[in-house]
Amino acid sequence: MSKPMRAVVIGAGVGGLSAAIRLAAKGCAVTVLEQLPNAGGKLNLLEDRGFRFDTGPSLVTLPWVFEDLFAAAGEKLSDHLELIRLEPICRYVYPDGTGFDASADLPTMMANLETFSSGAGEDFNAFFGHAARAWRGSRQPFLESAISSPLDFVKNGVPWADIGALLPFPTLHGLAARFFDDSRMQQFVGRYATYTGSSPYRAPATLSTVLYSEYAYGAWYVKGGLYRIATALEGIARKLGVQFEFGATATKIQLEDTTAPIMPDRKQQAVEAVTLTDGRRFPADVVICNADAATLYADLLPKHLDERSKRLEPSISGFVMMLGVAGETSGLEHHNIFFSHDYKKEFVQIFDELRPATDPTIYVCISSKSDPSQAPPAHENWFVLVNAPPTGGTDWGKEAEPYAARILELLAHRGYDIRSKVVTQHLMTPSDLETRYKTFRGGIYGTSSNSVSAAFLRPKNRSSRVEGLYLASGSAHPGGGLPLVMLSGKLAAEAAIKDWKP
């Protein structure tokens, strides 16, 4: 490039860091504006009395996506982060006291499932094969490609042999019911819809790919905590010359008119600069928005440019308890799931009734099981998460403490009464997520995948309304979760570089 591109990235979350690194590696002049005092976005850290809690993602999947990002900067992942493969991936516990350990080693997984439920091992093997076909058919044309419609998906080269596995019908729960007679196994498969902030009873069957990605590529933990990902990416970005402005809240993306027509009666507009609450102005040839798409269109752009983001269904939110616990608990692993008695009712309460589930599925992550540095000696750091509705139906200011007590009571009924052992407690509600990270109604993944068309209705990585505007976040294509957000940043940066005309 004869003239360096001036890129302004709004947000230092994983998507913004990914895009910034890739742009800087190509010689662009990059400035990252972040409203929080540190990088990471929802991938963040809370420290208290010797306890360390990753406040957002707690699992690394698809490690090749991470390796690719580090390689784009001329770096090696292993020089910056130590990934620890978790085995088992997760311990699943059902209300009747039964359960199994999930393993990324297929023979071990099949053996564990056969012990748990006769025939479940072979059923899982068959389901895994189906999911592998769906993954093979969607990885390149969907996850690794910028798309604007289902037609693009087909044009990008879906292998004909995998078309059948890519059909969105039935729902993910319906697909599980075709392979598994045991309702407990159906519940296990359905859980993977929540990785996209969705209900297994409404999300398409193609989400079998989420399960496949975890068992094909394994589940990983970063020694020292997942927040080290954010600090490593920030360090690499700075090494490449990226400038960071923390405590910098963007208020407006300034636009200028161009002559490129977008509609017969309207001219397309181009980005010109980003302004902050303190009045500072950052000129830009391109803007990469790592903020939630709903925030982008509602707060940073003229109202007529809204691209339906607020009319889509928000993703599931979360109610989080970060607990410092005295003692060492036997019978639990690094990751644990305590399933609810009535899974379907849980999602009806969350998505249809917009209220906290009375009997929620409870996820417990105790990273100190694998990494003692995350808690003081003879203590554990419990990160407890339950699915929660988007904001709008619950006064969390009043309900947070009673709901936390309810979850601890449910854990006690399941054999893990830690109420007298809690030495520190921090809560994070959907309202907190909405306020702190400006997420659409507190949704963790932007919008849900509770329809066949949802994946194609997500905001695209290249804006069709504003020249020089690109989106790189969990609310944009291809979706939420650490590896997908990194891919979102990659797609946005690649589009910006391709479009640049000095």
Q: What is the pLDDT of residues 366-394, one digit of tens each?
A: 999 999 999 999 999 999 999 999 999 99
- In the numeric block, the tokens 């080693």 are attached to 105
Q: Which two tokens stand for residue 114?
A: 């056969």
Q: Are 382 and 366 contacting, i.e. CB atoms less than 8 angstroms apart?
A: yes
CA–CA distance, 269 with 3 (Å, rounded to integer)? 21
Express each pLDDT in 354-373 by its tens digit. Answer: 999 999 999 999 999 999 99
The strands making up 243-246's β-sheet, listed across from edge to edge, are: 243-246, 29-34, 6-10, 286-289, 469-471
- Domain positions in the chain are 6-82+226-311+452-499, 111-218, 316-437
Burial 4-30 (b: 16+ CB within 10 A, else e): ebbbbbbbbbbbbbbbbbbbbbbebbb
CA–CA distance, 284 with 303 (Å, rounded to integer)? 21
Question: Sign of the C-alpha dihedral, residues 389, 391, 392, 393?
Answer: positive
pLDDT value at residue 166: 76
pLDDT > 90? residue 485 = yes
Q: What is the mean pLDDT of residues 157-185?
A: 84
Q: Which CATH number fits domain 6-82+226-311+452-499: 3.50.50.60, 3.30.565.10, 3.40.50.720, 3.40.710.10?
A: 3.50.50.60
pLDDT > 60? residue 261 = no
Express each pLDDT in 326-355 by its tens digit. Answer: 999 999 999 999 999 999 999 999 999 999
Reduce the DSSP state of residue 18 to 3 states and report it.
Answer: helix
Q: Are 13 and 436 contacting, i.e. CB atoms less than 8 angstroms apart?
A: no
Q: What is the mean pLDDT of residues 235-242?
A: 98
Looking at CATH, the fold of the domain delimited by 316-437 is given as Guanine Nucleotide Dissociation Inhibitor; domain 2 (3.30.519)
Architecture of the domain spanning 111-218: Orthogonal Bundle (1.10)
Q: Are 442 and 295 contacting, i.e. CB atoms less than 8 angstroms apart?
A: no
Burial 300-328 (b: 16+ CB within 10 A, else e): bbeeebbbebeebbbbbbbbbbbbbbeee
Provide, for the chain, the percentages of residues in helix, strand and coil under a 3-state DSSP scheme, each rounded to the nearest 5. 40, 25, 35
